[in-house]
Structure 1
Amino acid sequence: MIKFFRKIRYDLMGKNKTGKYLKYAIGEIVLVVLGILIALQLNNYNDTLKQHKQEQKILQNLKLDFDYNLSELERNIQNLKNNKKAGLKIISQTGNKISNNFSIDSLIDQITFTPVYFPQNGFLLELVNSGKLGIISNETLRNRLSSWFPTLETLHDREQIALEYNRHLVLYIIKNGSWLNADKMSTDQQIRAIDFPASGFDIDNNEMLKSSEFENFVENQIVNQTILLGRQEKCINLNKEIIELLDIEIKK
């Protein structure tokens, strides 16, 4: 093809057809430029296609993590709600309010349990550390993903406060009650499966209900877990928003 154009050029020059030669030269330049532009467009298209495939793979991996995170958050939130109900039931029976048929034993394991959230963030962490978060084209999604770790940090800070207070409540029960009696009535099937023998001490855990100190412990436990519940709900709202945005981008 190059030899063909070169022959035409030489023929025009040899015949002193300068005007036609100039037109031909301009046409040849235009063809070359068009060829370059087409090649660049094809190259850009291939790069865009490659980047889109890479982005889709990242989005799908993130979706796996955040689906798991959502299920863990839902489980934790339900546990916290159950714990709050147990605590409220206990303080409704303290002091002179105790009913004859009420037993605290089955509720002790709930009021002393603080669920800790362990999210699965491998793909997002790798994306952030490698500086590839920018490959996600949706700016809103990028912003929400960037907010995930700071939101988790506030949750974990509150978890540490709740766990520390939880430890004090456990120590109070160790000193003033019977864990053996409580575990025999636990709602946790794994604990019940241990088949504990009866305690060798004549301890009635209901006696703790007569203590204002115990009432204060349980009341503060309810407050701490309620605040923790609020942090969990903030995380789950962000998690759901991220999943919704991921679904939209994956379908593109």
Structure 2
Amino acid sequence: MAKFLRTFRQNSMAESRIGRYLLYAVGEIILLVIGILIAVQINLRNEAAKNERAESIYIQNILKDIDAQQKSIEVQVDYESSYISSAKYLIETLENKEIQVDQKFAAELANLLSRRTFVVQDATYTDLISSGKINLINDEGVRNDLISYYQEMERMEKVIYHNNSDIIDGNISHVLEEFGYINYSFEKLNHQGYLKNSNSAYHLGHFDEQFADISTQIMTDPRVRLHVMNAVKKRLLIATIHHEMMDGATTLSNELKNRFYE
């Protein structure tokens, strides 16, 4: 009997030790899982904070780009306005039966031969797209508006480039240079090489009356005058289209900035 009790006691103690070991092992596993979950949560929070800081920097840079774009738009509007003014003056002059090519006529004609290239200010947006970080802009609606904005800016850039190179340089300029007396002056160029807009005072070089008289005689031919008139009207149309595009670009820029400030 005593032997049975001793054996039973030993077996009970062994089972108790195994139970304690199992309980300890389970506890260790639970602590390990909890530790992993805490580490993952900390990493997620750190990553989220890192992304928020990166998003904030990107947004600040985007807003700077939009400010630069708006300044570029304002300059573009000034130039297009000057082309519209020059074209209207020339049309009014060409409609007169007694046309006289004078210094102002030559200056306005020279202004129509200039044109300004529109450039998209998209350094930050390009970085976001090329690096695959566009999703750092957390708000999906704002992100989509940003993409749409730059798609529209790029479209405007291409349209203006096409109009400048293919229509103005490739067509209109040839007509105006063939039949009109154009009085260029380097004093009218700004530091970027563009002709200053016609709202500034004219500082033209020597105005040759003989060449002006030749141009006046050419303009007495109704067919020539019609040819020049059509070219000037086409130039007016392009300047008006560009001006309206810039008005739209201004609206889009303001709307996008407001989206970031909401």
TM-score class normalised by the smaller sequence: 0.7 to 0.9
- The number of residues matched between the two structures is 234
Distance 1:19 1:105 in 2: 105
Measured against aligned partners, the alpha-carbon deviations of 1:11-54 in whole angstroms (never above 9, x if no partner) come to xx89x699999999998877666555444333222111111111
Matched, 1:91 2:91: yes
Larger Rg, first or second structure (1 or 2): 2
Matched, 1:229 2:243: yes
Distance 2:202 2:81 in 1: 25
Match of 1:196 in 2: 205
Match of 1:242 in 2: 256
Summarize the Cα distance change of 1:144–1:208 in structure 2 as closer, same or farther, 3 Å threshold. farther
Measured against aligned partners, the alpha-carbon deviations of 1:134-159 in whole angstroms (never above 9, x if no partner) come to 11102122112212343134313322
Say if 1:106 and 1:187, in contact at 8 Å, map to a contact too.
no
TM-score normalised over the length of structure 1: 0.73
Tell me which moved more, 110-119 or 192-201.
192-201
Say if 1:178 and 1:203, in contact at 8 Å, map to a contact too.
yes
Deviation of the 1:203 alpha carbon: 1.9
> Identity of aligned pairs, percent?
21
For 1:183, what is the secondary structure of its paired residue?
A: coil
Q: Structure 1 unaligned runs (5+)?
A: 1-12
Matched, 1:113 2:127: no
Match of 1:163 in 2: 165
Summarize the Cα distance change of 1:165–1:186 in structure 2 as closer, same or farther, 3 Å threshold. farther
Equivalent residues in 2 for 1:55-204, closer than 5 Å: 55-96=55-96, 103-159=104-160, 160-167=162-169, 168-179=171-182, 182-183=183-184, 196-199=205-208, 201-204=210-213
Q: Letter of the aligned partner of 1:164 in structure 2?
A: D
Distance 1:198 1:113 in 2: 19
Summarize the Cα distance change of 1:161–1:193 in structure 2 as closer, same or farther, 3 Å threshold. closer
Distance 1:177 1:56 in 2: 55
**How large is the RMSD of aligned CA atoms in angstroms?**
3.8
Say if 1:141 and 1:245, in contact at 8 Å, map to a contact too.
yes
Q: Letter of the aligned partner of 2:172 in structure 1?
A: L
Tell me which moved more, 161-170 or 45-54.
161-170
Measured against aligned partners, the alpha-carbon deviations of 1:68-96 in whole angstroms (never above 9, x if no partner) come to 11110111012112211221222122233
Q: Structure 2 unaligned runs (5+)?
A: 1-12, 196-200
For 1:178, what is the secondary structure of its paired residue?
A: coil
Tell me which moved more, 201-210 or 17-26.
17-26
